[in-house]
Every structure is written in structure tokens, then in C-alpha cells.
Amino acid sequence: MTFFKGSRYAKVGEVETTDAQGRIVRYKRTRFIEAPSVAGTHVVTDSDRLDRLAFDAYGDVEGWWLIADLNTAMRPAGILDESGRVILIPDAEP
């Protein structure tokens, strides 16, 4: 399986198994989230979007998932639902 270089799944190992029909099935292992260090905080406003916050923090809109992971978001956009909420902004991945 191929994921782009900045993907949260790029460093996750793969597993290969054979199903009952003899077909090879490949899949990613479970991705366990390691807690990164916190670079700062952000007070949510009505106009916020995760991609924009990621661009401001990392210079890359693809880093939105770093913010979602640190804030333990099951539904990433949900961390921006409440204006005035303080969310954590992690350091960029090494």
C-alpha cells in the first residue's frame, strides 16, 4: 500500500494474509498515536479550519491530522465546533 510521504499512515507497518479463497490480502497495522510535544494553543473562532491551522503551524495544509490526533478527535472537524474552545497545537513531526 502506498501513502504519500506526509501521511499519518506512511510509517505504519503492513500485514499480509491469505483469505479462504487463496487470495492475498494486504492491510495496514493499527496506528497507535504517540503523544507529541505541545508547541502552543489556539482559541477556536467561527472561521477556523484545520487545514488553515496546519498551514499556519507547519507551512503545510496536510498536517491537519497532527492537530486532530493531539486533541483526540474522533471526528476531526469537531474540535472546531465550539468557538472559544482552547485546542493544543503539537510540534511538527521530526
Q: Do 21 and 7 belong together in one domain?
A: yes
Range of the domain at 72: 37-90
Q: Do 46 and 59 belong together in one domain?
A: yes
For the residues 77-83, what does the mean pLDDT come to?
91
For 22, the grid coordinates are 487463496
At 65 the three-state DSSP class reads: helix
- Dihedral angle of Cα 75, 82, 80, 68, to the nearest 10 degrees: -50
* Number of domains into which the chain is organized: 2
Give pTM, 2 decimals: 0.71
Q: Express each pLDDT in 24-74 by its tens digit.
A: 999 988 878 777 889 999 999 999 999 999 999 999 998 898 999 899 888
DSSP letter, residue 58? H
